[in-house]
Each structure stands twice: as structure tokens, then as C-alpha cells.
């Protein structure tokens, strides 16, 4: 029987994980940056320009949106620590997406490196 860690290890052997310095500058034309964490995590702070497509609905949401469903479009994925993003990257490769990358170390390492974080503006009380 395989564990979740076995699945992540297998995914990592089949995908491309970008180290932080490269991930921070990897922006080919039309890249879709995807945060696969839950909405509350995304709302607390995310990579600038990222869209939130949680891991549980990622494949369905991508296929439902014509602007995201182009399988030749470059996709950069991340999660908190990079485990879920690795699984998501493998899933997208299996769906036929051709240029999929994952951020090694995830959002935790992104923040620790002092890279920019976008947070939604707070509404003024009424």
C-alpha cells in the first residue's frame, strides 16, 4: 500500500520543480500562476498575480474556463509546502498540459525568502 508521501515522491520524480530564484522570475508569455491552497489561505496572502484554484477542484475549474483550458499555456503551481502542488502538476501533465512547473518549497519558502506577497485590501468599516 502506498502512502501520501509515496505519491508525492513519485509525482516529484515526474514533474519539474523550480527552485525559488528561478520560480520568482519564470514568467513565459501567458503563464497562469495557480495557488492550489484553500481560499482562506489564499486570502491571507499569495504570490502576486496568482489565481486561486484549490487542489480539490483544479482540474474541473481549468477545463471549465476557456482562457485557462489551453493545454499549451504555461502553468506555475504552488501550495504551502509544495506537496499538493507536485500532485497537481502531475495531474495537469496527465491531462495533456505541456508546460507545467511547481515552486519547490511552496509559499512557505517564498515568504521566507522575502519575495513579494499580495494580500487583498481590507474594506473600511461601515
Enzyme catalytic residues: 79
d(CA 52, CA 101): 16
Helices (H), 15-125: 20-25, 39-44, 58-64, 83-94, 106-112
> What's the chain's Rg over C-alpha atoms?
15
**Run of H or E including 11:** helix 4-14
d(CA 107, CA 113): 10
**Run of H or E including 48:** none
Amino acid at each position: 500500500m502506498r502512502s501520501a508521501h509515496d505519491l508525492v515522491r513519485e509525482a516529484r520524480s515526474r514533474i519539474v520543480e523550480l527552485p525559488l530564484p528561478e520560480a520568482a522570475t519564470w514568467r513565459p508569455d501567458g503563464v497562469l500562476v495557480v495557488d492550489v491552497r484553500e481560499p482562506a489561505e489564499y486570502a491571507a496572502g499569495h504570490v502576486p498575480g496568482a489565481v486561486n484554484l484549490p487542489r480539490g477542484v483544479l482540474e474541473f475549474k481549468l477545463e471549465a474556463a476557456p482562457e485557462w483550458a489551453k493545454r499549451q499555456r504555461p502553468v506555475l503551481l504552488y501550495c504551502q509546502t509544495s506537496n499538493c502542488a507536485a500532485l497537481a502538476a502531475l495531474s495537469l501533465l496527465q491531462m495533456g498540459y505541456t508546460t507545467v512547473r511547481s515552486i519547490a518549497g511552496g509559499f512557505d519558502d517564498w515568504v521566507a525568502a522575502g519575495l513579494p506577497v499580495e494580500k487583498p485590501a481590507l474594506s473600511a468599516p461601515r
